[in-house]
Every structure is written in structure tokens, then in C-alpha cells.
């Protein structure tokens, strides 16, 4: 009996309590600065993209494309994006020399025969240089490049429940299958799940905060929803990219109804900027932004949308942003839904159509 007790004590000392028992929400900072209207206006003036360049990528044989995220490696640009074929999500890679013309290279998160993420794997790049107008390169951690993804085992368009997984590769510029962690890092059945995300977790963006503002180097922003409720954006944090703790009880972006989702985080001067899309708390779907000084307290922009439906190809939805600034031009990639189906489109801060025609 004594030997068995000693053995059990040793196992607990080595492994610690189970993840289900040890998970708890990390309390958020209670106070934060509001970003003044003049500062918000300066950000808008910096990032606005009033010129629509048009559709830049379509799915083969009518497949739907979604959620672009763009990075640079060497002298080339790469885009991770999602393909929906009617059964579920897969993730693919495209390549460009000029941010305007894109060549599909192949899949990086394809369907699997089994597992919690067998038919849903929608990936988003992680640990990108967040400095506005800088390199847009991906940072390696532990000798690997990382991606977070929306995963699920049920067929259909974003069939609930969905969870967040993590994948990695040694070379993000090659269209080969990324390695996935065995289990989701955030899901609705975990002990620390918050009411506003209890059913499903959606798109995520992971940044490396070198200042460790929240006491952690890695910070994830993602949208989630409860059964029958609105989608809101909240946070999680990690020391190692593999184990994640939810940060704060409440969401950081909440527009009360509809969808607030698909965050992308960048930094302009001393201000963190979150690009995200809204839908159904105003008509249709559109891209907007919010600003913060501490990653926790966010001031929402209330002025003109960054993109909104206006053309035949995005007359239904113009949403799901990814923005980069290169050579003085802002490129705003987004998902467009209209008379060409669900495709990827581009808006810019300068009229590039006049230059390239």
C-alpha cells in the first residue's frame, strides 16, 4: 500500500494535475486608457483603403475561398487561405511577387481520415512581425513556424462545435502538410471556457508580444460564440505555443449582436490596432478596427468602414481583413461574396488599377 501511495505521489509530482482540473481563467487588468478620437482618426487615415483593385484569387471548380493571411519570406509574398468544397475547410498556400498576382501552390492543412479535426482545418499564420510597414516575416519559435487553426469533425459550413488547434512546419513557404498537435488547445469542453464562447471558437491570430505586457510572450485573439448568441472576440495567452490559458472573463470586442470576428493585430507607433470584421449589427458584412495601448482595453472605431460592399463581386459581403503596408501602399486583402461566388479580393490606399492597366 505504501509503495502504491509513493508511486501515485511521484506521478502527480512529475506530471502535475490534469489539464481539465488545472485550467482557470487569468484575471484581466481592470483599468486601461481609452484611445482619443484624434488618435483613432490618425490610425484611420493611415490604414484606409478606398480603392478597390478587384478579385485576386478564385477557387477551382466553384470552390469557395476565405480568410486570407499574408506574409513575406525573402523577396516573395505568401498567402495562407481557406478552401471550402461543401464538406469542410482545408487550408492552402499561394505565392506572389507583387501582392497583386497570386499563384496557388497547394494545401498545407488538408482533410484527414480521422480525428477531432478531420474535415475542418482553417489555418491562420502566427508570430508575424507586428510592426506596421515593416518586414511582415514570420518568426520561428523552438525551431518551428506556427499556425493556429479552426478545427472540427463534422461536415458542412462551420458546423458546430469547432475548436482551435495548433500546427507547425519547418518551412512555411512550401505547400506541404503542417504537423498538428494531437488535441485542440482551446475548446468548448474545457473547464475554463467562458460563457460567450461556450459552443465554438473561430478564427485566431497569435502574436509575439516581446514586452510581455500581460506576463506572457504569446497572445492569441479569437472569436467565439455561445449557443444562439453573438460572436465576440477574446484572448488567451501562452508561454510555449502548446499550452494556452484564457485571459479575462469578458470579451475584448463585443458589439452586442451579430458577428465581431477574424482579428488581425498590428502595431502603429505605441498603439496596438486590431482589424476585424462586423456583420449583422449593421447591414451586411464589413471591415473595421479598434485600438489599444495594453492589448486588453480596446477603443472601437465608429467612422467609415475600411471596406464594405460596393461592387458586384462583394455586393453581399466584404469582410475578413488582412492588411499590410509595403512601399508606402496599404494592401487590404479580404473575402468578397457577390456575383463571382466567395473569392479573395483586394483594396488599396492608392489607385493601383490606374497604374497597372
Q: How far apart are CA 128 and CA 71, in angstroms?
A: 7
Paired strand residues for 79: 70, 94
With CA atoms as reference, report the closest residue to 335 among 288, 285, 274.
285
Q: pLDDT tens digits for 148-180?
A: 999 999 999 999 999 999 999 999 999 999 999
CA 206 distance to own-chain centroid: 7
Q: How confident is the model at residue 22 (pLDDT cuts 50, 70, 90)?
A: low
Triad 330, 310, 59: Cα angle to 5°: 75
Q: Which residues pair with 336 in a beta bridge?
A: 318, 343
Does residue 315 have a pLDDT over 70?
yes
Domain at 32-356, CATH homologous superfamily: Glycosyl hydrolase domain; family 43 (2.115.10.20)
Residue 264 CB neighbours (<10 A):
27
The whole-number pLDDT of residue 6 equals 31
Contacts of 188 (CB under 8 A, 6+ apart): 161, 163, 197, 198, 199, 200, 201
For residues 206-219, give the mean pLDDT.
Answer: 97
For 256-276, write each residue's pLDDT tens digit: 999 999 999 999 999 999 999
**Spatial separation of the C-alpha atoms in residues 228 and 219, rounded to whole Å:** 27
Contact between 186 and 236 under an 8 Å Cβ cutoff? The reply is: yes
Task: State pTM to two decimals.
Answer: 0.93
Distant-in-sequence, close-in-space partners of 76: CB < 8 Å, separation ≥ 6: 95, 96, 97, 173
Residues facing 307 on adjacent strands: 287
Apex 289 CA angle, 92 and 321, nearest 5: 15
pLDDT at 251 exceeding the cut of 60: yes
Amino acid at each position: 500500500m505504501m509503495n502504491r501511495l509513493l508511486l501515485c505521489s511521484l506521478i502527480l509530482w512529475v506530471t502535475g494535475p490534469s489539464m481539465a482540473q488545472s485550467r482557470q481563467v487569468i484575471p484581466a487588468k481592470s483599468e486601461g486608457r481609452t484611445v482619443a478620437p484624434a488618435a483613432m482618426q490618425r490610425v484611420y487615415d493611415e490604414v484606409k483603403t478606398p480603392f478597390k483593385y478587384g478579385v485576386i484569387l478564385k477557387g477551382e471548380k466553384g470552390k469557395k475561398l476565405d480568410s486570407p493571411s499574408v506574409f513575406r519570406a525573402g523577396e516573395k509574398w505568401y498567402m495562407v487561405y481557406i478552401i471550402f468544397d461543401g464538406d469542410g475547410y482545408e487550408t492552402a498556400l499561394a505565392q506572389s511577387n507583387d501582392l497583386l498576382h497570386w499563384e496557388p501552390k497547394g494545401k498545407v492543412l488538408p482533410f484527414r481520415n480521422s480525428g477531432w479535426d478531420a474535415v475542418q482545418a482553417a489555418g491562420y499564420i502566427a508570430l508575424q512581425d507586428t510592426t506596421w510597414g515593416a518586414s511582415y516575416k514570420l518568426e520561428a519559435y523552438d525551431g518551428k513556424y506556427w499556425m493556429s487553426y479552426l478545427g472540427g469533425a463534422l461536415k458542412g459550413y462551420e458546423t458546430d462545435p469547432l475548436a482551435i488547434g495548433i500546427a507547425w512546419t519547418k518551412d512555411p513557404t512550401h505547400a506541404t502538410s503542417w504537423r498538428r498537435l494531437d488535441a485542440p488547445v482551446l475548446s468548448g469542453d474545457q473547464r475554463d471556457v467562458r460563457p460567450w464562447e461556450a459552443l465554438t471558437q473561430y478564427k485566431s491570430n497569435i502574436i509575439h508580444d516581446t514586452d510581455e505586457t500581460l506576463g506572457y510572450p504569446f497572445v492569441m485573439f479569437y472569436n467565439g460564440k455561445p449557443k444562439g448568441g453573438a460572436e465576440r472576440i477574446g484572448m488567451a495567452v501562452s508561454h510555449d505555443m502548446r499550452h494556452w490559458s484564457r485571459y479575462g472573463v469578458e470579451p475584448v470586442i463585443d458589439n452586442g449582436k451579430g458577428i465581431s470576428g477574424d482579428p488581425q493585430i498590428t502595431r502603429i507607433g505605441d498603439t496596438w490596432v486590431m482589424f476585424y470584421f462586423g456583420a449583422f449589427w449593421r447591414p451586411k458584412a464589413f471591415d473595421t478596427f479598434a485600438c489599444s495601448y495594453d492589448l486588453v482595453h480596446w477603443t472601437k472605431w465608429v467612422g467609415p468602414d475600411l471596406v464594405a460592399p460596393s461592387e458586384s463581386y462583394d455586393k453581399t459581403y466584404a469582410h475578413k481583413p488582412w492588411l499590410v503596408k509595403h512601399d508606402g501602399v496599404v494592401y487590404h486583402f479580404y473575402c468578397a461574396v457577390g456575383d463571382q461566388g466567395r473569392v479573395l479580393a483586394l483594396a488599396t490606399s492608392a489607385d493601383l488599377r490606374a497604374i497597372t492597366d
